[in-house]
Amino acid sequence: MNLFKEAYTARIEQLGKEREAGRRVVGTFCLFVPDEIVFASGADRVILCGGRSNTISVAEEYLPRNICPLIKSSFGAIVNGSCSGDLACPHFGMVDAIVAEATCDGKKKMYELLHEYIPTYVMDLPQMPDSRTSIGYFESELRRFGRFMEGLTGRTITEEALAREIRSGNETRRMLHRLYEMRRLDPPPIRGSDVIKMLQKQYFLSPDVFRNGLREVCDEVEKKTASGEKCGPRLMISGCPMPAGNMKVPQIIEDMGACIVVEESCTGTRSFWDLVDEQKDPWTALAERYLKIPCSCMTPNQGRIDSIIELAERFDVDGVVYYTLQSCHGYNIERYRVGKALKEANIPMLAIETDYSDADVEQIRIRVEAFLEMLS
Ligand code: SF4
Ligand code: SF4
Protein backbone atom coordinates (compact mmCIF):
# COMPACT_ATOMS: atom_id res chain seq x y z
CA MET A 1 0.00 0.00 0.00
CA ASN A 2 2.89 2.35 0.74
CA LEU A 3 3.96 2.12 -2.84
CA PHE A 4 0.71 3.77 -3.94
CA LYS A 5 1.13 6.63 -1.49
CA GLU A 6 4.68 7.38 -2.60
CA ALA A 7 3.83 6.94 -6.27
CA TYR A 8 1.62 10.01 -6.27
CA THR A 9 4.45 12.51 -5.74
CA ALA A 10 6.72 10.62 -8.10
CA ARG A 11 4.04 10.75 -10.79
CA ILE A 12 3.71 14.55 -10.56
CA GLU A 13 7.47 14.82 -11.05
CA GLN A 14 7.40 12.30 -13.91
CA LEU A 15 4.67 14.22 -15.75
CA GLY A 16 6.59 17.47 -15.33
CA LYS A 17 9.69 15.89 -16.89
CA GLU A 18 7.71 14.25 -19.69
CA ARG A 19 6.16 17.55 -20.64
CA GLU A 20 9.53 19.29 -20.64
CA ALA A 21 10.65 16.60 -23.08
CA GLY A 22 7.69 17.40 -25.34
CA ARG A 23 5.26 14.61 -24.43
CA ARG A 24 1.61 15.58 -24.57
CA VAL A 25 -0.70 14.87 -21.65
CA VAL A 26 -4.50 14.81 -21.70
CA GLY A 27 -6.95 15.03 -18.82
CA THR A 28 -9.94 12.67 -18.69
CA PHE A 29 -13.09 12.33 -16.60
CA CYS A 30 -14.60 9.04 -17.58
CA LEU A 31 -14.06 5.32 -18.18
CA PHE A 32 -15.36 5.57 -21.72
CA VAL A 33 -12.14 7.26 -22.90
CA PRO A 34 -9.85 4.35 -23.85
CA ASP A 35 -6.38 4.65 -22.38
CA GLU A 36 -5.20 2.37 -25.18
CA ILE A 37 -5.74 5.07 -27.81
CA VAL A 38 -4.10 7.78 -25.71
CA PHE A 39 -0.98 5.69 -25.08
CA ALA A 40 -0.77 4.37 -28.64
CA SER A 41 -0.55 7.97 -29.83
CA GLY A 42 2.47 8.56 -27.58
CA ALA A 43 0.59 10.77 -25.11
CA ASP A 44 0.06 10.30 -21.39
CA ARG A 45 -3.11 10.87 -19.39
CA VAL A 46 -4.35 11.78 -15.92
CA ILE A 47 -7.83 11.66 -14.47
CA LEU A 48 -9.30 14.95 -13.28
CA CYS A 49 -12.51 13.90 -11.48
CA GLY A 50 -12.94 15.94 -8.31
CA GLY A 51 -13.77 14.26 -5.02
CA ARG A 52 -13.25 17.20 -2.65
CA SER A 53 -15.81 19.61 -1.29
CA ASN A 54 -13.59 22.70 -0.92
CA THR A 55 -13.77 23.60 -4.63
CA ILE A 56 -17.56 23.42 -4.88
CA SER A 57 -18.36 26.99 -3.77
CA VAL A 58 -16.07 28.32 -6.54
CA ALA A 59 -17.90 26.17 -9.11
CA GLU A 60 -21.27 27.46 -7.93
CA GLU A 61 -20.34 30.91 -9.19
CA TYR A 62 -20.54 29.41 -12.70
CA LEU A 63 -22.73 26.34 -12.47
CA PRO A 64 -26.19 25.75 -10.96
CA ARG A 65 -26.16 24.49 -7.38
CA ASN A 66 -28.36 21.51 -8.17
CA ILE A 67 -25.94 19.47 -10.25
CA CYS A 68 -23.85 16.64 -8.90
CA PRO A 69 -20.88 17.37 -6.61
CA LEU A 70 -18.49 15.45 -8.84
CA ILE A 71 -19.05 17.91 -11.68
CA LYS A 72 -18.91 20.94 -9.41
CA SER A 73 -15.83 19.74 -7.56
CA SER A 74 -13.95 19.02 -10.81
CA PHE A 75 -14.92 22.30 -12.44
CA GLY A 76 -14.20 24.34 -9.30
CA ALA A 77 -10.69 22.94 -9.04
CA ILE A 78 -9.96 23.76 -12.66
CA VAL A 79 -11.49 27.24 -12.77
CA ASN A 80 -9.84 28.17 -9.53
CA GLY A 81 -6.56 26.93 -10.93
CA SER A 82 -6.82 29.23 -13.88
CA CYS A 83 -7.41 32.12 -11.45
CA SER A 84 -4.22 31.06 -9.61
CA GLY A 85 -6.16 30.07 -6.51
CA ASP A 86 -4.66 27.73 -3.98
CA LEU A 87 -7.45 25.17 -4.37
CA ALA A 88 -6.26 24.39 -7.86
CA CYS A 89 -6.25 20.82 -9.08
CA PRO A 90 -2.53 19.96 -9.24
CA HIS A 91 -3.10 17.67 -12.21
CA PHE A 92 -4.89 20.23 -14.31
CA GLY A 93 -1.77 22.37 -14.77
CA MET A 94 -0.12 19.41 -16.46
CA VAL A 95 -2.55 18.74 -19.27
CA ASP A 96 -2.52 20.06 -22.83
CA ALA A 97 -6.15 19.21 -23.54
CA ILE A 98 -9.19 17.60 -22.00
CA VAL A 99 -10.72 14.53 -23.56
CA ALA A 100 -14.37 14.60 -22.63
CA GLU A 101 -17.27 12.35 -23.52
CA ALA A 102 -20.98 12.80 -24.12
CA THR A 103 -22.34 10.93 -21.10
CA CYS A 104 -24.65 12.61 -18.59
CA ASP A 105 -26.17 16.04 -19.32
CA GLY A 106 -24.38 17.79 -16.48
CA LYS A 107 -20.97 16.72 -17.71
CA LYS A 108 -21.74 17.50 -21.35
CA LYS A 109 -22.75 21.06 -20.50
CA MET A 110 -19.87 21.54 -18.06
CA TYR A 111 -17.44 20.58 -20.84
CA GLU A 112 -18.78 23.42 -22.99
CA LEU A 113 -17.76 25.88 -20.28
CA LEU A 114 -14.48 24.09 -19.69
CA HIS A 115 -13.53 24.67 -23.31
CA GLU A 116 -13.15 28.36 -22.44
CA TYR A 117 -10.25 27.44 -20.17
CA ILE A 118 -8.58 24.64 -22.06
CA PRO A 119 -9.09 22.90 -25.43
CA THR A 120 -11.74 20.28 -24.74
CA TYR A 121 -12.31 17.48 -27.22
CA VAL A 122 -15.68 15.71 -26.84
CA MET A 123 -16.11 12.11 -27.91
CA ASP A 124 -19.67 11.15 -28.79
CA LEU A 125 -21.14 8.02 -27.31
CA PRO A 126 -24.09 5.98 -28.52
CA GLN A 127 -26.35 5.73 -25.49
CA MET A 128 -28.38 2.73 -26.67
CA PRO A 129 -25.66 0.06 -26.59
CA ASP A 130 -28.01 -2.73 -27.67
CA SER A 131 -29.04 -1.03 -30.92
CA ARG A 132 -27.83 -2.59 -34.15
CA THR A 133 -25.71 0.38 -35.22
CA SER A 134 -24.13 1.37 -31.92
CA ILE A 135 -20.85 -0.59 -32.18
CA GLY A 136 -20.14 0.66 -35.70
CA TYR A 137 -20.89 4.23 -34.71
CA PHE A 138 -18.75 4.02 -31.57
CA GLU A 139 -15.90 2.51 -33.55
CA SER A 140 -16.03 5.48 -35.94
CA GLU A 141 -16.01 7.83 -32.95
CA LEU A 142 -12.97 6.06 -31.52
CA ARG A 143 -11.19 6.43 -34.85
CA ARG A 144 -12.08 10.16 -34.87
CA PHE A 145 -10.68 10.40 -31.35
CA GLY A 146 -7.56 8.61 -32.57
CA ARG A 147 -7.12 11.25 -35.27
CA PHE A 148 -7.47 13.98 -32.65
CA MET A 149 -4.71 12.34 -30.60
CA GLU A 150 -2.51 11.98 -33.68
CA GLY A 151 -2.95 15.70 -34.34
CA LEU A 152 -2.02 16.49 -30.77
CA THR A 153 1.11 14.34 -30.63
CA GLY A 154 2.15 14.32 -34.28
CA ARG A 155 2.45 10.54 -34.15
CA THR A 156 0.44 7.99 -36.14
CA ILE A 157 -1.43 5.36 -34.18
CA THR A 158 -0.38 2.04 -35.67
CA GLU A 159 -2.33 -1.18 -35.26
CA GLU A 160 0.74 -2.69 -33.56
CA ALA A 161 0.88 0.10 -30.98
CA LEU A 162 -2.82 -0.26 -30.33
CA ALA A 163 -2.52 -4.05 -29.97
CA ARG A 164 0.37 -3.60 -27.56
CA GLU A 165 -1.64 -1.18 -25.41
CA ILE A 166 -4.62 -3.53 -25.47
CA ARG A 167 -2.44 -6.34 -24.11
CA SER A 168 -1.07 -4.03 -21.44
CA GLY A 169 -4.58 -2.86 -20.40
CA ASN A 170 -5.80 -6.45 -20.25
CA GLU A 171 -2.86 -7.41 -18.06
CA THR A 172 -3.93 -4.80 -15.51
CA ARG A 173 -7.55 -5.95 -15.76
CA ARG A 174 -6.54 -9.55 -15.15
CA MET A 175 -4.57 -8.54 -12.12
CA LEU A 176 -7.55 -6.65 -10.73
CA HIS A 177 -9.59 -9.81 -11.23
CA ARG A 178 -6.95 -11.67 -9.23
CA LEU A 179 -7.33 -9.17 -6.37
CA TYR A 180 -11.13 -9.25 -6.46
CA GLU A 181 -11.15 -13.07 -6.48
CA MET A 182 -9.44 -12.98 -3.10
CA ARG A 183 -12.17 -10.72 -1.76
CA ARG A 184 -14.62 -13.60 -2.13
CA LEU A 185 -13.05 -15.20 0.95
CA ASP A 186 -14.58 -14.80 4.39
CA PRO A 187 -13.01 -12.86 5.95
CA PRO A 188 -11.79 -10.89 2.92
CA PRO A 189 -8.04 -10.41 3.27
CA ILE A 190 -8.10 -6.71 2.29
CA ARG A 191 -10.28 -3.79 3.34
CA GLY A 192 -12.68 -2.47 0.77
CA SER A 193 -11.65 1.13 1.48
CA ASP A 194 -8.03 0.22 0.66
CA VAL A 195 -9.12 -1.23 -2.67
CA ILE A 196 -11.20 1.86 -3.50
CA LYS A 197 -8.25 4.14 -2.70
CA MET A 198 -6.08 2.04 -5.00
CA LEU A 199 -8.60 2.19 -7.82
CA GLN A 200 -8.83 5.95 -7.45
CA LYS A 201 -5.22 6.02 -8.63
CA GLN A 202 -5.77 3.70 -11.57
CA TYR A 203 -6.12 6.47 -14.14
CA PHE A 204 -3.68 8.83 -12.52
CA LEU A 205 -0.57 6.68 -12.23
CA SER A 206 1.25 5.29 -15.24
CA PRO A 207 0.05 1.76 -16.14
CA ASP A 208 3.40 0.20 -15.23
CA VAL A 209 3.60 1.79 -11.81
CA PHE A 210 -0.05 0.98 -11.08
CA ARG A 211 0.39 -2.62 -12.17
CA ASN A 212 3.61 -3.11 -10.18
CA GLY A 213 1.90 -1.76 -7.07
CA LEU A 214 -1.07 -3.98 -7.70
CA ARG A 215 1.12 -7.04 -8.13
CA GLU A 216 2.83 -6.29 -4.83
CA VAL A 217 -0.54 -5.91 -3.11
CA CYS A 218 -1.83 -9.17 -4.63
CA ASP A 219 1.29 -11.05 -3.48
CA GLU A 220 0.95 -9.58 0.01
CA VAL A 221 -2.77 -10.29 0.24
CA GLU A 222 -2.37 -13.84 -1.03
CA LYS A 223 -0.14 -14.66 1.93
CA LYS A 224 -2.84 -13.53 4.34
CA THR A 225 -5.76 -15.42 2.86
CA ALA A 226 -8.18 -17.61 4.79
CA SER A 227 -7.28 -16.60 8.31
CA GLY A 228 -8.76 -14.49 11.08
CA GLU A 229 -12.28 -14.05 12.34
CA LYS A 230 -15.23 -13.75 10.04
CA CYS A 231 -16.16 -10.14 9.42
CA GLY A 232 -19.47 -8.34 9.92
CA PRO A 233 -22.02 -8.31 7.10
CA ARG A 234 -20.50 -8.53 3.62
CA LEU A 235 -21.59 -5.55 1.56
CA MET A 236 -21.44 -4.39 -2.03
CA ILE A 237 -21.38 -0.67 -2.87
CA SER A 238 -23.14 0.09 -6.10
CA GLY A 239 -23.65 3.41 -7.85
CA CYS A 240 -21.77 6.63 -8.54
CA PRO A 241 -17.99 6.81 -8.79
CA MET A 242 -15.96 7.80 -5.72
CA PRO A 243 -13.07 9.97 -6.92
CA ALA A 244 -10.09 10.63 -4.66
CA GLY A 245 -11.01 12.66 -1.60
CA ASN A 246 -14.49 11.19 -1.37
CA MET A 247 -14.36 8.23 1.02
CA LYS A 248 -17.15 9.26 3.38
CA VAL A 249 -19.57 6.35 2.88
CA PRO A 250 -17.05 3.46 2.66
CA GLN A 251 -15.34 4.73 5.77
CA ILE A 252 -18.59 4.91 7.75
CA ILE A 253 -19.51 1.39 6.64
CA GLU A 254 -16.17 -0.13 7.61
CA ASP A 255 -15.93 1.82 10.87
CA MET A 256 -19.17 0.12 11.89
CA GLY A 257 -17.68 -3.34 11.39
CA ALA A 258 -19.10 -4.35 8.01
CA CYS A 259 -16.88 -5.50 5.12
CA ILE A 260 -17.08 -4.01 1.66
CA VAL A 261 -16.27 -6.97 -0.58
CA VAL A 262 -17.07 -5.53 -4.02
CA GLU A 263 -17.92 -2.21 -5.70
CA GLU A 264 -20.19 -2.00 -8.73
CA SER A 265 -18.82 1.40 -9.59
CA CYS A 266 -16.41 3.21 -11.87
CA THR A 267 -14.06 3.08 -8.88
CA GLY A 268 -14.66 -0.67 -8.89
CA THR A 269 -15.68 -3.43 -11.26
CA ARG A 270 -16.95 -1.20 -14.09
CA SER A 271 -13.37 -0.11 -14.69
CA PHE A 272 -11.94 -3.55 -15.43
CA TRP A 273 -14.51 -6.35 -15.51
CA ASP A 274 -14.56 -6.92 -19.28
CA LEU A 275 -11.36 -7.49 -21.23
CA VAL A 276 -10.65 -6.28 -24.75
CA ASP A 277 -10.65 -9.12 -27.30
CA GLU A 278 -7.01 -9.45 -28.40
CA GLN A 279 -7.88 -11.54 -31.46
CA LYS A 280 -10.07 -8.96 -33.24
CA ASP A 281 -9.35 -5.79 -35.16
CA PRO A 282 -8.19 -3.45 -32.34
CA TRP A 283 -10.64 -0.62 -33.14
CA THR A 284 -13.64 -2.97 -33.22
CA ALA A 285 -12.48 -4.76 -30.10
CA LEU A 286 -12.11 -1.48 -28.24
CA ALA A 287 -15.56 -0.29 -29.36
CA GLU A 288 -17.13 -3.56 -28.21
CA ARG A 289 -15.41 -3.60 -24.85
CA TYR A 290 -15.96 0.03 -23.91
CA LEU A 291 -19.60 -0.01 -24.91
CA LYS A 292 -20.15 -2.78 -22.36
CA ILE A 293 -19.50 -0.35 -19.47
CA PRO A 294 -22.90 -0.27 -17.78
CA CYS A 295 -22.99 3.44 -16.96
CA SER A 296 -26.42 4.80 -16.07
CA CYS A 297 -26.22 7.17 -19.06
CA MET A 298 -27.07 4.07 -21.15
CA THR A 299 -30.60 3.06 -22.02
CA PRO A 300 -31.99 0.52 -21.50
CA ASN A 301 -29.37 -0.52 -18.99
CA GLN A 302 -30.28 -4.12 -18.24
CA GLY A 303 -26.57 -5.02 -18.37
CA ARG A 304 -26.03 -3.09 -15.14
CA ILE A 305 -28.91 -4.79 -13.34
CA ASP A 306 -27.64 -8.22 -14.44
CA SER A 307 -24.12 -7.35 -13.40
CA ILE A 308 -25.24 -6.21 -9.91
CA ILE A 309 -27.10 -9.47 -9.29
CA GLU A 310 -24.22 -11.54 -10.65
CA LEU A 311 -21.68 -9.71 -8.47
CA ALA A 312 -23.90 -9.95 -5.39
CA GLU A 313 -24.04 -13.72 -5.82
CA ARG A 314 -20.41 -14.14 -6.79
CA PHE A 315 -19.13 -12.19 -3.77
CA ASP A 316 -21.75 -13.70 -1.49
CA VAL A 317 -22.97 -10.33 -0.19
CA ASP A 318 -25.47 -9.96 2.64
CA GLY A 319 -26.64 -6.57 1.41
CA VAL A 320 -26.06 -3.72 -1.05
CA VAL A 321 -25.46 -0.07 -0.25
CA TYR A 322 -26.78 1.86 -3.23
CA TYR A 323 -24.61 4.97 -3.20
CA THR A 324 -25.53 8.03 -5.23
CA LEU A 325 -24.53 11.64 -5.44
CA GLN A 326 -27.21 14.30 -5.14
CA SER A 327 -28.61 15.41 -8.50
CA CYS A 328 -27.13 12.46 -10.37
CA HIS A 329 -30.35 11.62 -12.16
CA GLY A 330 -29.08 8.55 -13.99
CA TYR A 331 -27.99 6.59 -10.93
CA ASN A 332 -30.77 8.00 -8.72
CA ILE A 333 -33.51 6.97 -11.14
CA GLU A 334 -31.93 3.57 -11.77
CA ARG A 335 -32.16 2.93 -8.02
CA TYR A 336 -35.76 1.78 -8.47
CA ARG A 337 -34.93 -1.00 -10.94
CA VAL A 338 -31.86 -2.09 -8.98
CA GLY A 339 -33.91 -2.22 -5.76
CA LYS A 340 -36.62 -4.27 -7.46
CA ALA A 341 -34.14 -6.77 -8.91
CA LEU A 342 -32.35 -7.13 -5.57
CA LYS A 343 -35.66 -7.66 -3.78
CA GLU A 344 -36.52 -10.44 -6.18
CA ALA A 345 -33.12 -11.99 -5.45
CA ASN A 346 -33.78 -11.61 -1.71
CA ILE A 347 -30.85 -9.23 -1.16
CA PRO A 348 -31.53 -6.21 1.11
CA MET A 349 -30.53 -2.76 -0.12
CA LEU A 350 -29.89 0.54 1.64
CA ALA A 351 -30.00 3.67 -0.55
CA ILE A 352 -27.78 6.58 0.43
CA GLU A 353 -27.90 9.81 -1.55
CA THR A 354 -25.26 12.26 -0.44
CA ASP A 355 -22.76 14.94 -1.45
CA TYR A 356 -19.15 15.70 -0.55
CA SER A 357 -19.89 17.63 2.66
CA ASP A 358 -19.75 16.24 6.20
CA ALA A 359 -23.19 17.61 7.06
CA ASP A 360 -24.94 14.23 6.85
CA VAL A 361 -22.27 11.99 8.41
CA GLU A 362 -24.28 11.40 11.59
CA GLN A 363 -27.46 10.69 9.70
CA ILE A 364 -25.69 8.20 7.38
CA ARG A 365 -24.11 6.51 10.38
CA ILE A 366 -27.53 5.97 11.99
CA ARG A 367 -28.98 4.52 8.78
CA VAL A 368 -25.99 2.22 8.18
CA GLU A 369 -26.16 1.03 11.78
CA ALA A 370 -29.84 0.15 11.43
CA PHE A 371 -29.14 -1.63 8.14
CA LEU A 372 -26.32 -3.69 9.63
CA GLU A 373 -28.48 -4.63 12.61
CA MET A 374 -31.15 -5.84 10.25
CA LEU A 375 -28.59 -7.98 8.38
CA SER A 376 -27.05 -9.61 11.43
S1 SF4 B 1 -20.39 6.92 -14.08
FE2 SF4 B 1 -20.54 6.92 -16.32
S3 SF4 B 1 -20.06 9.03 -16.86
FE4 SF4 B 1 -19.29 8.72 -14.79
S5 SF4 B 1 -17.16 8.01 -15.04
FE6 SF4 B 1 -18.43 6.21 -14.95
S7 SF4 B 1 -18.81 5.70 -17.09
FE8 SF4 B 1 -18.18 7.82 -17.04
S1 SF4 C 1 -23.08 10.35 -14.06
FE2 SF4 C 1 -23.86 11.15 -12.13
S3 SF4 C 1 -22.07 11.19 -10.77
FE4 SF4 C 1 -21.30 11.01 -12.86
S5 SF4 C 1 -20.92 13.14 -13.45
FE6 SF4 C 1 -22.96 12.60 -14.19
S7 SF4 C 1 -24.34 13.32 -12.58
FE8 SF4 C 1 -22.28 13.22 -11.69
Encode pLDDT of 49-59 as tens digits: 989 898 899 99
Distance from C-alpha of 246 to C-alpha of 325, rounded to nearest angstrom: 11
Judge if the beta carbon of residue 325 lies within 6 A of ligand 2. yes
pLDDT at 343 over 60: yes
197 alpha carbon to ligand 2 midpoint, in Å? 19
Span 22-38, average pLDDT: 97
Distance from C-alpha of 245 to C-alpha of 343, rounded to nearest angstrom: 32
pLDDT at res. 361: 98
- pLDDT grade, residue 91 (50/70/90)? confident
Query: Pick from 7, 103, 69: which is nearest to 242 by CA?
Result: 69
289-313 pLDDT, tens digit per residue, is 999 999 999 999 999 999 999 999 9
Residue owning the nearest CA to atom 6 of ligand 2: 104
Ligand nearest to the CA of 75: 2
Please give the full DSSP string across 88-101, using - where no structure is assigned.
Answer: --TTGGG-SEEEEE
pLDDT at res. 23: 97
Judge if the beta carbon of residue 32 lies within 6 A of ligand 1. yes
User: Which residues are registered as beta bridge partners of 88?
Assistant: none
Mean pLDDT computed over every residue of the chain: 94
Classify residue 109 by burial, with Cβ atoms within 10 Å: 0-12, 13-18, 19+.
Answer: middle
Indicate the Cα dihedral angle 197, 198, 203, 204, nearest 10°.
Answer: 80
- pLDDT grade, residue 280 (50/70/90)? very high
**Tally of CB atoms within 10 A around 344:** 9
Give percent above pLDDT 90 in the chain: 88
